[in-house]
Amino acid sequence: MITTTLPPHEEMLRAFLARDASYEGIFVTAVRTTGIFCRPTCTARRPHPEHVEFYASPHDALFAGYRPCQRCVPLEAAGTPPAWLQPILDAVEGDPARRWRDADLVALGVSPERARRWFQAHHGMTFHAYCRARRLGTALRRLGEGERVTETAFDQGWESLSAFNDAFRKLFREAPRQAARSAVSLVARRLLTPLGPMVACATNEALSLLEFADRRMLERQLRRVCGRLHAVPTPGSNPVLDATADELERYFSGALRTFTVPVAQPGSAFQQTVWARLCEIPCGTTTTYGDIARGMGMPNHARAVARAVGDNAIGIIVPCHRVVGSDGSLTGYGGGLWRKRRLLDHEAGVRALALGA
């Protein structure tokens, strides 16, 4: 349940011609001469601009008489793994300790180079690096639960204890036992939303990061969170991330207005106060930086509040999108102003339905 607000035509045309991935989930492009609609990032040959029109969703394009492109598959959620890759992802999740080789991929009918490119684009690492990080994350958790190093090493697919120790030192900069005592277990997972994929990181206790995957500041935010937590994120899931995925799905369907997932992102006392104030803004309403500053008893610190809001690393759940300019205009948002508008329109619609019920 996302309100269909579109950017200006010229902006969408520029994004489509440039295959701008930041507009995934914002619009689909329909071509009058072919009767087909595509994602903004479709790799098909670009049509003449006069033959193009835009829709806010595949649903709208279908009802306008267009059929989905078979190359970019716009009916699937942005960031959905392609069909050829899904059996491999299922196998990795079913046996995280498995040590994969190129021959294993070939046996499943997948080119190792094709798998490498997809994982590099969607996870920032190769397929083999992803599997290795997955195994190391599992090993770290098991060591933290008191399991012996030797037993953990062989159970997680290492052929020798020295190779296991080397892999641990390379990623965590400590030997396995020392890392298990000092490191925070931080698990990372990609979550699909109607506005594009997001990256979520959480400890076993709380959510520490939730950002759109195409945000330019994502890498910096991730380094900041990991540095302050003394943690290295490893692919996987835990109950906090499962709860986050569930609540986001209910939020976007209009069934949830208040999040209950525990959050704990590191920051100064001032930042923590500002982020707590953000969580007090009711769904379907907005406030300003000045209002937050005055509510904190610091009326002359609106700019400092704006900086703290910009440093928020937990999007949507810590709702920095609900802060607007003093004149009501949209101001900067790390996920993009169009996403901010879509989120605010969505929440206004949900609130209107609740008040009319």
Residue 4 lies in a domain: no
pLDDT higher than 80, residue 169: no
pLDDT, average across residues 240-246: 96
Do residues 156 and 190 share a domain?
A: no
Of all residues in the chain, the percent with pLDDT exceeding 70 is 93
Number of domains in the chain: 3
Do residues 191 and 178 share a domain?
A: no
pLDDT at 26: 76
Q: Which range scores top for mean pLDDT: 115-129, 175-189, 210-224, 296-310?
A: 296-310
Do residues 207 and 111 share a domain?
A: no
Do residues 210 and 273 share a domain?
A: yes
Of the three residues 50, 68, 86, the one that is the final residue of a domain is 68
Please name every residue paired with 233 in a beta bridge, in sequence order, or none if there are none.
186
pLDDT higher than 80, residue 300: yes
In CATH, what number is assigned to the domain containing residue 274? 1.10.10.10
pLDDT, average across residues 169-174: 71
**CA dist., res. 193 & res. 339, Å (int):** 12
What's the whole-model pTM score? 0.68
pLDDT, average across residues 230-238: 78
User: Which two structure tokens, joined as six digits, stand for 105?
Assistant: 């991929």
Higher pLDDT, 42 or 22: 42
Question: Could you tell me the pLDDT band of residue 357, with boundaries at 50, 70 and 90?
Answer: low
**CA dist., res. 354 & res. 157, Å (int):** 52
Please name every residue paired with 231 in a beta bridge, in sequence order, or none if there are none.
184
* Burial class (CB within 10 angstroms; exposed 0-12, middle 13-18, buried 19+) of 174: middle
pLDDT at 124: 66
User: Which two structure tokens, joined as six digits, stand for 300?
Assistant: 């002359």
The residue range of the domain holding 99 is 78-182
- Among the listed residues 57, 54, 67, 43, the one whose alpha carbon sits nearest the alpha carbon of residue 117: 43
Do residues 29 and 145 share a domain?
A: no
**CA dist., res. 42 & res. 320, Å (int):** 31
With residue 1 as reference, give the H or E element that holds it.
none
Specify the amino acid at residue 127: F
Residue 209 lies in a domain: yes
Dihedral Cα 341, 347, 353, 357, nearest 10 deg: -160
> What b/e string do you get for 128-158 counting C-beta neighbours within 10 Å, with b at 16 or more?
bbbbbbbbbbbbbbbbeeeeebeebbeebbb
Higher pLDDT, 341 or 214: 341
Lowest mean pLDDT among 78-87, 198-207, 238-247, 305-314: 78-87
Of the three residues 161, 182, 203, the one that is the final residue of a domain is 182
User: 96-155 pLDDT, tens per residue?
Assistant: 778 888 999 999 888 899 888 888 767 767 888 888 877 877 777 777 777 888 888 888
Residue 306 lies in a domain: yes
Do residues 189 and 178 share a domain?
A: no
Catalytic residue among 38, 72, 226, 320: 320
Residue 50 lies in a domain: yes
Question: Could you tell me the pLDDT band of residue 256, with boundaries at 50, 70 and 90?
Answer: very high
Question: Could you tell me the pLDDT band of residue 167, with boundaries at 50, 70 and 90?
Answer: confident
Do residues 325 and 231 share a domain?
A: yes
- Among the listed residues 42, 41, 46, the one whose alpha carbon sits nearest the alpha carbon of residue 20: 41
pLDDT, average across residues 273-279: 96
User: Which two structure tokens, joined as six digits, stand for 306?
Assistant: 């704006």
Do residues 326 and 211 share a domain?
A: yes
- Catalytic residue check, 226: no
* Average pLDDT over all residues of the chain: 85
pLDDT at 252: 93
Higher pLDDT, 141 or 292: 292
Lowest mean pLDDT among 94-103, 167-176, 319-328: 167-176
Strands (E) in 2-146, as ranges, are: 28-31, 36-38, 52-55, 67-68
pLDDT higher than 90, residue 215: no
Of the three residues 182, 207, 233, the one that is the final residue of a domain is 182
Residue 3 lies in a domain: no
CB 73 within 8 A of CB 131: no
pLDDT, average across residues 261-275: 94
What CA–CA distances, in Å, run from 308 to 132, 199, 289, 325, 335? 35, 20, 10, 15, 16
**CA dist., res. 35 & res. 106, Å (int):** 37
**CA dist., res. 114 & res. 90, Å (int):** 17
pLDDT at 344: 93
Specify the amino acid at residue 207: L
* Burial class (CB within 10 angstroms; exposed 0-12, middle 13-18, buried 19+) of 290: middle
